[in-house]
Chain A
């Protein structure tokens, strides 16, 4: 039976890697469709690096997965008590091996960590700027940050959206209000202010590789640079109550002209239907 069990453990790396390969290739077999069973299309300029880092880690860990899986199989196969006539190797360990397999992973892991930092900073720290500020040097503390063009507020169980309008300021008569329907122009740096009105939610745009929990009492900013038009999901990714599953919004990335036209239409519509635009905000 030792042979059988060895082969069973060999199936782990074979089937494990196999399923990933089939999913990445989007294989279609009779009775098994793995189309679109991988990272969804990315439309954010800043999102490619996340996919690259994902793949980098996948190849690295995949190699270790295969190597350890094969080593386990081979040792089980070779040193099966029923087949192995040699006496056991009476050893308590090896200092050299321990040093090697401590230092190599340590260096690799440290490298992975440091390698991620730039992408993390771009996503969460380096908010787009309008200009370098008084000192004339970009990316210093006095940079003039790009203001948010739109504010998204999570509440059970919808996304309330408010545009600053032409004056770039919130709480003015030219604000535009929508629910679950976010429109942004393509090929521009977009900054969004996100808030929560009641409980935790998470503002998750899978196709923009963007996710940020919204926390009651905190105002945060997210940003992206969409590079193609289309309509995509806004997902709530943090448990927010019984209706968590249905807290769905959508983001429409449009050309600047279409966006402006949409904005004008909506604003006129809002003026007709609502006497007081900021009726129950806050």
Chain B
């Protein structure tokens, strides 16, 4: 059984599906593959494994906060025999540095853009692959040096990188400031730079593919919101990442060859030789946040897009306000470039600048609000099917409201003076990134799993997974608002010796128990995911009755994706259209005679 298909460059390639798979064919097909679907799955599996690592690191943090210095049960003795099984304060800094680094650079960004972006973009726009398949392959394989660098940084004796994921100078630049993490910090910077290169290659590819390779009839305003969000995300990455890469190289040269971008002249830390620089630590913060604030939107926009598609599908109703949804994505991206200063209100930045950034930061809440109202509008008047992907998407909306509203507290500069660097901000970004993005990612996995593997995940266990994750995540993250209101600072190995915070330990213990529960129930997800690949109920092309182009391809799609030339007649959200009897109306289905006029009026 051998099929010959044409790839995007018109060359014919012979693909061998027979049992006579040689090792080189296997490596070509599944390891160094140029097929966007394999690359997407590679990203998906890698990031899910790192998700586990990041979750365990979080448990280490939570254990220390609930029972400081009591030692880690079972594995503590193995890991830290010298400290009697305790988490040392040095290791605590490594824990939260690595938790954030892994979750941001190895989970959220690559799972959204790398896994779902890769898998879905060609399928949803009706292309046979990405515009640059080799570049696409490289974007995955550039993650591996990053994995290795960060892994080495973590295990670098005696302590890993401990500068926080923000890596603020001068702590991160002067080796004497953090004894024991000299080469770890350098490796960390190299790792982050490699992630940047990987994302850069991905974003160029996504932009080109979405602009150039849409199927006939697929106009920009017929694109699913998932694709729009991936497009905007790629724009953000393409324009913001060079700044981080440059800043990372500057910090590397500060560390290695003694330049002085970020170190003021004459600085002596821990008996180090006086610095000869003449640099400014705040410069790093500006450069870092000039990337990392748009990166915050890189971490949420694709989730918003995917949630929009899932909610419309299971409300069996068109998305409410498609164009406002697109414009608000653009609005978030545009504002996203002029709000980075809100991370620096109390940093020593000129307070006049703080006022400007407060206004722009307040205004970025507007497109987010518009999106929320439109999701509610989509649900209104529908016929809601409470499937697992729908439940996760609904929880995205519900939780994103909390994360969005708590952002307004911190955008207000005087209020931020008090809650800056407290658990209020920790609550805020975990509501956006875990309760928001990670829940949307779970929903997206349940939703597109049948397309990826041709089998369904178990719905009942999916709902059990949803229920307990939803419960435990709120138990873990919601009390953080209360801690923040007391002023409980983040990144402290033992906050309880402060008079002001000494009574907060019971609440932290409750949160830790919830966090343990949250990690534990992911076993249900892992088992469901792995078993369903082999034993799930086999399904056809369109198990959910959805409109998007990807649902007209075989499940799973073969090389070249479509076994016919897709032609697009309408947008992806015509659920419940009176033109047809079915409650969905696929983008490839030609309209009945005489319906063309109505179609024009609708768009």
Contacts and interface: CB of A to CB of B under 8 A. Distances in A.
Interface of A: 1-2, 5, 8-9, 12, 15-16, 19-20, 23, 33-40, 49-50, 53-54, 57-58, 60-61, 64-65, 68-69, 71-72, 75-76, 79-81, 84, 87-94, 97-98, 101-102, 105-106, 109-110, 112-114, 116-117, 119-121, 123-125, 156, 197-200, 202, 204, 206-207, 209-218, 220, 232-233, 235-246, 248
Nearest to B577: A90
B504 interface: yes
B323, B398, B467: most-surrounded residue (chain A CB, <10 A): B398
A84 B369 CA distance: 28
B358 interface: yes
Contact of B412 (A81, A116, A212, A214): A116
Contacts of A91: 317-318, 320, 381
B379 A76 contact: yes
Contact of B405 (A40, A61, A81): A61
A71 B375 CA distance: 11
A119 B413 CA distance: 9
Report the 7 A-B pairs with minimum CB-CB distance, sorted nearest first: A217-B264, A89-B381, A93-B321, A124-B351, A88-B576, A206-B487, A61-B405
A114 B482 CA distance: 26
A230 to B, nearest CB: 11
Interface stretch (B383-391, B447-455, B549-557): B383-391
B171 A241 contact: yes
A87 B576 contact: yes
B592 to A, nearest CB: 16
Contacts of B406: 61
Given A9-B398, A239-B171, A218 B348 contact: yes
B96 to A, nearest CB: 9
5 contacts: A9-B398, A36-B486, A64-B405, A76-B394, A236-B489
Interface string B396-438: 0111011001101101111101111110000000000000000
Interface in B153-186: 159, 162-164, 168-171, 174, 177-179
B415 A37 contact: no
Contact of B370 (A36, A87, A101, A206): A101
Given A65-B402, A239-B93, A198 B269 contact: yes
Nearest to B91: A242
A75 B415 CA distance: 34
Counting chain B CB atoms within 10 Å of each CB, which of A23, A53, A200, A216 scores highest? A216
Interface size bracket, B side = 35 or more
Contact of A39 (B322, B486, B573): B486
A87 B359 CA distance: 44
B340 to A, nearest CB: 16
Contact of A49 (B414, B421, B486): B414
Given A65-B402, A88-B381, A125-B352, A93 B417 contact: no
Contacts of B363: 106, 109-110, 113
Contact of A81 (B372, B384, B398, B577): B384
B482 A217 contact: no
Given A40-B500, A124-B354, A71 B318 contact: no
Nearest to B344: A213
Contacts of B90: 242
Nearest to B316: A88
B376 A72 contact: yes
B362 A112 contact: yes
Contacts of A20: 481-482
A88 B583 contact: yes
B488 to A, nearest CB: 9
Given A93-B320, A245-B495, A37 B382 contact: no
Given A2-B384, A113-B362, A65 B168 contact: no
Contact of A19 (B482, B493, B576): B482
